[in-house]
Every structure is written in C-alpha cells, then in structure tokens.
Structure 1
Amino acid sequence: MTMIEKKLQVWEQQGLINGDQYEAILAFEQGDKQNNNWWLYSLLMLGSAIIGLGIISLIAANWVQIPDSIKLGVDFSCLLALAGVIFWYQHQTKHLISDTLIVAFILLCLASIGLIAQIYHINGRWYHAILLWSMITLPIVLFARHLFVHFLWVSLFINAAVWSSVDLAAGQLRTAMRELPAVLLLAPLLSASLYLLARRIALLHKTSSSFFFWFQISALIALVAIDLIRSGDDTQIFEWRWYLPAWITAALLIGLILSRRSYRPLNKGLLIAAIILLILYYHPDILFTGETRYTFSALDASARTSIWQADDIRAPILTIFILFLYTIHAGNSGYHRTFNLLTFLIGLRFVALYFQAMGGLAATGVGLILSGLMIIGIAWFWYSSRDRLQHWSKELTL
C-alpha cells in the first residue's frame, strides 16, 4: 500500500472524503505518477548522452586519418537527420522519445562547434563556445516538454553568459580567481532577471523554474563567499569595470521587480533592499573598513579595532539582514520550503558568529556547555517560531 493510499484511507475514515472521492483521487494520483517518471526520462537522456560520447570516442581514435570534408559532411548529415526525426516526432504522442532526441541534437551541436574550431584552428574561451551553442539551440529547446532539457540548457547558458559578460567588461580574463567575486555577484542577478523575463514571455515560460533554481543556488553561494571574504579579512582586488555587468543587471532587475504587478509594494521593497545591500556587500570600501577584530590577522596585532568598526562583525550582521529580507518575501509569497531553509540558515549564522566571537570561551568546559545550550536554544526557537514568523510575514501584506 502506497503512502497516498494510506492517507486516503485515513481521510475516508475521518469522514473528510467519501468512497467516490477516494477512487477519483486515487485514480488521478496513479495517472499523474505514470506521467511523471522523471527518473526514467533522466536515465534515458543520460543513456543517449553516453552513447553520443562513445561514438565521439570511437571517431577520435581514428581522427587523424579522417579527411576534414568527411568530418564536416558526416556531422551535418547527422544534424539534419536528427532534426528531421525530431520534427516528425513532434506530431506524435511520444514526447519522451522526442525530448531524448533533442538532448542528443543539442549535444551534437556543441560537438559541432568544437569540430569547426578544431578544423579551422579557431581559438576562443569555453564560455564563448557555450554562449554560441546556447543561441543556436534555444529554438529547438523550446520544443521540449520535460524539465530536464530546459534545465540542461539553462545551466550551461547561465555559466556562459556570466563568464562572457565579466570577460567583456574586464577586457580579457587573466586569472579567474581575481574576477571570481564579480562572477559570483552577477550570477544571481542575471538568473533572477531572466526568471522574471521568462515569466513574462510565454515562449520562455518553461525555462522559468530552472532560472529560479539557479537564482536561489547562486544567491546563497554569492552570500556565503562574500561573507567569508569580509569576515576573514581576505585581500580582494577590486576594479569597477569587472562589476559593471552586475550593476547594469541589477538596474534591469530592479526595473523588472517594480513593473511586476503580482508583487506587493512590501515585496518589491524587500527585494530591492536585498539587491542593493548585496551590491554594497561586494564593494570593499563603502560599508567596510578593512579592519577585523576576531580573525587571525587581527589577533596578531597589538590593538584590535572596536566591535562597531570590525568587518568580521559587520559581515555576519549584513548576511543575516539580507537573509531576513528575503525570508520575509518568501514567507508572504508562499515559498514554504525556501522560508524554512532561510530561517535555518539565519540561526546557523548566529551560531557561527557566536563561535567566531567567543572562540576562546568555547574552548573551556563552561564555554562548551554555554555553546551547547545556545545551539539548543536556537534550534528550539527556530522550530517553535517559524510558523508565527511566516504568519506575521503574510499579515504584513494585508
């Protein structure tokens, strides 16, 4: 007996549903389960990708002996054949086969770009090639019906667009680690902008969930990375032109947020405030002094800076405040999982700040006892207060 059957039996015994409703709900859930075998789709598409890699490896073993004209002829013949089969399957009901062929086609397009670059000795960066691939494969990706195809395309496109933008602004990327903070800042801003655009454009609507996923992931990565940089007193090379794409994208994102009718004024204010604070977070001179209080470099100094001027105190507070702003937005927008995750991260950052500031005390027996009590207290507070906090956030918009 499945979990849904057990729940339906309990509901029927409690009088919440009758026998006909029980059968109708069970039939719907079983049919929906059959139509959403995502694991089967993923395995089939993964298998087609592995077959393609195997074919490429066989060809690579005899690559030197094959004339360039034959290489290009076979490559374009395969592309045309795949395109014809995909077009034929679009009029059938076999969507799984169609999407599997689309994955094979877009991967072959990427291989074709590499083949042309190898034959004609064209030099370039990997993100330029993927950006070109994204542009030429977007029309056929829009025909896909399953999330995996859109997620694959969005994942590669976001990476290529971010690195290409920073490369264009910097003139040419030399050492990736120098420009990495600019890349980390641009990624969530661009993902959020493309998510809002995809929600507006019906043709791109299927890609919106993938853009939203990468926005949340890249935003957390960007926040954690800059928190570590500011709290650890790490040196950062800052050149304004590296961050120009992020600033332009932030302005576009703020405009999209202001023009989105489904967002209440409070949500717009919360999101815009979080964006501005994140941008200021990445600037080393506006909100930060370059002095620390509890890092190893500060402990070596003869006199530590005051607690109000220490970057390793300001950084956690700013991180918690940005998380709090987005938590309130998630709470009154119905994103329950995001709300629960962010409230947990806020409590976790409080604990990390405690150990960061009270490291010496935590090394003693009494300090360990107090630290354990504090962790238990935060866990209890988070568990008992998250529902009240979410209810309060919803009432703010009434």
Structure 2
Amino acid sequence: MLRRPSRDAFAVPGQPWACIQIARKQVVASQPLHENDTVIAEHFLRRWRSAGLIDDGAVERIGAWEAAHRRPLWLWALSGMGALAIGLGLVAVVAANWEEIPAGAKLAADLLLTGLCAGFVFVAWQRDREWPRELGALLLFGLVIGSIALVGQVYQLQSDPWQALVTWLALATPFLALVTFSRLVGALWFAAAVLTWFSAYEPLERLIGSLASSAARGDLFLLLLYLPACLLVIVAVLRRRWPPAEDQGELMLKLAVAGLVGAVSTTVVAIDSRLVSQVAPVEIWLGTAATLLAATALWIGGSATQRRPMIALLGVSFGIWAAALLLARAWSAEQKAGFEAIFGLLFIVYWAAIGWLAAHAGQRVLFGLAFTVIAMRLLILYLEAIGGLTATGLGLIGGGVLCLVLTWIGWRLTRRLGRGAIP
C-alpha cells in the first residue's frame, strides 16, 4: 500500500480536486505496497487514466514513488517463515521435556519472559515506536493468558475456564488501553472480550435468571446474544473519544454494530425455527436498558452526522428484536404457517431498513449486502412454499429467475447510489 501522499501529488492541472479525490480514496493507505499489491495498484491506475480521472504525469509520479518504496514480498515471507520455525522449534523442545522441567523453573522462565516483554513494550511506548509497541503488546497479551494457564497447571487449580479469561482481560485491559492504538490489536481485543462473555454463558444465565421469578424464567440465549453487542458499542464509543485511539475505536464500533445486526438476525431466525423454548419477560427489560445506555453513548460520543445513522440502526435493531421476542411468547402451533410468514417478513423489513440507512449514508457495500440478504431470504421463502418434485424443479427455475432479476435491480440501485441519485 502507498504512504499517504500530499494533496499536491494529485493536483493535476485542469482537473478539480474533488474528482481526483475519488482516486485518492482507493490509492492512499498507511504502508508501502508489497509487490503483489503494486500490480493491483497499477491496474487501478490504468483504469483511472482511461477514465480521465488522472493524467499520465500523475501516473508516472505515483509509479516513481512506489518504485522507491517497494518492499519485496518474498523477503517478508522468508523472514516470517524463519521466525515461525524458531517459535515452533522452541515449543517442540519445551513440550518434549515438559515433565522433566521443575515447576519452579517453569514459573521463573515464564515470569522472566513476561517481564522482558513488558519492559520492551514500555521502552517502545516511551520512544513512540508504533509497530514494536503494538506487536510487543500483542505478544504480552498472549503471554498473560499463557501465564494464567501455567499457574493453574502447576498448582492444580480447579476453576472454570471463564474465570481464567476474566482474569486475563482484567490484567491485560489496562496496558492494552494505554499503549495500543492499532486496528489489529483492537480487533483481537474485541474477539477476546466476546470469547470471555460466551465462556461465562452459564453463570450469566444464572445471574440474570435470579432477577426473574421461577414462573417467568425462560431461555436467555437471545438476551445473551444481544447484550454484548450493546455493551461493546459503549466501549467502542468511549475508545473512539480518545484521539490517539480514534481509528481503533472506529473499528471496534463497526464490529460491535455488525455483532448487533448478527444478534438480531439470529434472534429472528432462531425463533422462526423454534430453536428457543421460552422467552422470559426479563429479556425485554434488560435489552431496553442496554439499548438506552448504548444510545446515550452514541449521542454523547459523536457529531450529529455520525450519531444519527448509528442511533437509528440501534433503534431499528431493538424494535425488531423486541418484536421477535413478543411474537415468540404469542407463538401458536395451530397458526404455524402464519407465524413463519410474519417472521420472514420481519427479517426482510429489518434488512430493508439497514439497506435504507446504508443508502442515505452512501455505504455501497452495506447496501449491496442488505439487498443480497433480502434476495436470499425471499428465495428461501419461495422454495419453502412449494412441494413435490415437479413443483420443486419449477420452483428452482423460478427462484433462479428471481435471483437474476433481483441482481439486475440491485446493480442498477448500486450504480445510482454511486452517483448519489438515491436520496
């Protein structure tokens, strides 16, 4: 990828900056290109030159800059293979002699390695060395959970996995929050939090179940899908408010919103398929509280242009999620077909709302995804409504035609969205 060039590097005489900015969004990034990426960039440069977005002079300047900053991919691959081989060799040697190593030596070696890594992270942080700091913090993040596992093995501690994971996050979160700002570490931090949440499913279910009477208790799986998404939205907004970690917080917010959409979609599908036995009233109340907290964080933590689409998506998600839970409580086996149609329509309405919000925000990829999901759901409903071999064959033909028609419509809408024709 190319380093961020100056505005003058794209200032082609006779062409407005607004037009050149289209090319800049595709070319500009934060690191030099590898060899394979250079081929891709040259392909786009030829396309933009053919379209008249940039002239030959701009192509030559970009090509000359890239030639001076090219990094051979094979050297990176070779060095990575060497580092991996050394790591695997050390693991193999230690594993082969694990039983013969005294417990004190294991703990001392682990403490020494962890301390050296922590010192390396501290020095890199003081000297403002970005990638050494990020990679060191990531390694330290892994060493902390390894140390917890080692202590548990040496002292034969009998505890549930979720307790070790909670301890891991409690120890690692302070230094991750202080010294890491990259999107990679943010994504792995996010994944660790989600893993910890679902590893504690049973104690969380018991805790929430204790808030409800025995007659009102039900399957809390859907609530435990929805709650972490709202909580991570709050964490991501707080993270985004710190300027050095703004990019990391932005990625975490996108992941949290994706989790929210996934949780709501899973809720509708799970209830439609009767994978949930009973829904407790406490779910809706706790979901309401979590949604209000997330909406408050979004309202405080962003500008009007940023917060309105997010709050709108949050509100639509909660509305569909709550409606699905209420329908689950009213489910009737005698009216199974009617309820399945309602849940299918509810799923389509939800993704149609996502597509509408994406169109207004100019998010072509999200709009295309929403349109595709709706098309697939319509196809499934179409195939579920038919029966028999002949009808199935005709249904497949009709479903294929439906997919082609929807693809054509989606392509036309996406092109209009790219030109800003969708209001």
TM score, norm. by length of structure 1: 0.76
AA matched with 1:262:
A
CA contact (8 A) 1:98 1:144 kept: yes
1:83 aligns with 2:118: yes
Unaligned runs of 5+ in 1: 293-303
Partner of 1:327: 355
Aligned mate of 2:401, from 349, 359, 373: 373
Deviation at 1:98, TM superposition (A): 4.3
Whole-Å Cα distance in 2 between the matches of residues 27 and 119 of structure 1? 58
Structure 2: distance between partners of 1:191 and 1:245 = 15
Deviations along 1:275-298, one digit per CA (max 9) or x if unpaired, are 322431552x44663236xxxxxx
Change (3 A) 1:10 1:253: closer
Matched, 1:211 2:239: no
Q: Which residue of 2 aligns with 1:316?
A: 344
Unaligned runs of 5+ in 2: 1-37, 210-217
The residue that corresponds to 1:154 in the other structure is 190
Pairs within 5 Å for 1:1-398: 2-9=39-46, 11-12=48-49, 16-27=53-64, 44=80, 55=90, 58-90=93-125, 95-142=130-177, 143-144=179-180, 146-161=182-197, 163-164=199-200, 167-168=203-204, 170-171=206-207, 179-202=220-243, 204-240=245-281, 246-259=287-300, 260-263=302-305, 267=309, 270-281=312-323, 283=325, 285-286=326-327, 289-291=330-332, 305=335, 310-359=338-387, 363-388=391-416, 395=423
* Aligned residues with identical type, % of pairs: 20
How far residue 315 of structure 1 moved from its aligned partner, in angstroms, is 1.1
CA separation of 1:392/1:71 partners in 2, compared to 1, >3 Å: closer, same or farther?
same
Deviations 1:26-80 (A, max 9, x none): 3555678759x8x959x94x98688667645644554455444333222211111
- The answer (yes or no) to whether the contact 1:166–1:182 under 8 Å persists in 2 is no
> 2:320–2:350: 8 Å Cα contact kept in structure 1?
yes
Q: How many residues align?
A: 374
Contact kept, 8 Å, 2:284 with 2:322, in 1: the verdict is no
**1:166 and 1:242 in contact (8 A); partners too:** no
For residue 347 of structure 1, report the CA deviation from its aligned partner. 1.3
**1:199–1:91 CA distance, 2 compared to 1 (3 A):** closer
Query: In 1, distance between residues paired with 2:323 and 2:92?
Result: 46
Q: Which residue of 2 aligns with 1:295?
A: none
More contact order relative to length (CA 8 Å, sep ≥ 6): 1
Whether contact under 8 Å (1:340, 1:386) holds in the other structure is yes
CA distance in 1, matches of 2:86, 2:242: 35
Secondary structure at the counterpart of residue 263 of structure 1: helix
Q: CA deviation at 1:180?
A: 3.6
Residue 48 of structure 1 contacts residue 100 of structure 1 at CA under 8 Å; is this kept in 2?
no
**Structure 1 stretch 8-17 or stretch 341-350: which is displaced more?**
8-17
Give the letter for the 1:25 counterpart: I
Secondary structure of the structure 2 residue equivalent to 1:122: coil
Structure 2 contact 161–199 (Cα < 8 Å) conserved: no
Report the Cα distance in structure 2 between the residues aligned to 1:281 and 1:123, rounded to whole angstroms.
42
Q: Residues 196 and 256 of structure 1 are in contact (CA less than 8 Å); yes or no, is this contact kept in structure 2?
A: yes
Is the CA contact 1:278–1:322 (under 8 Å) kept in the aligned structure 2? Answer: yes
TM normalised by structure 2 equals 0.72
CA 1:228–1:5 in 2, change beyond 3 Å: closer, same or farther?
Answer: closer
